[in-house]
Amino acid sequence: MKPTKELIDDLYRERVEAARRMSPEDKLLAGARLFDRSCRIMADGIRAQFPEADERRVNEILRERLALARQLEEKA
């Protein structure tokens, strides 16, 4: 079953309202958790792309990609 636009909008609104209720400290921690989660997802993608890579190489590629993202963000 495909979610309706109305349901998607309601879920989004709930997330925004929950974020607005968060303390600054909780927002800071949520940002760090989001970054950690994103890095884990990126590392999983790197492992799928380079199955022969060991953890050292996966972390190296991850750092390279983060540096590239930072460079692109600074140019925007």
Q: Rounded to two decimals, what is the model's pTM?
A: 0.74
Whether residue 46 lies inside any domain: the answer is: yes
SS3 41: helix
Q: How many domains does the chain have?
A: 1
Give Cα 58 distance to the centre of its chain: 17
Measured torsion, CA atoms of residues 35, 41, 44, 50, in degrees rounded to the nearest 10: -80
Whether residue 48 lies inside any domain: the answer is: yes
**Contact (CB, 8 A) for 34 and 27:** no
Give the tens place of pLDDT for each residue, 21-64. 999 999 999 999 999 999 999 999 999 999 999 999 999 999 99
Question: What are the b/e assignments for 37-51, b being 16+ CB within 10 Å?
Answer: eeeeebbeebbeeee
Euclidean distance between CA atoms 56 and 41, whole angstroms: 16
- The whole domain housing 47 covers 23-75
Whether residue 3 lies inside any domain: the answer is: no
Whether residue 15 lies inside any domain: the answer is: no
Whether residue 42 lies inside any domain: the answer is: yes
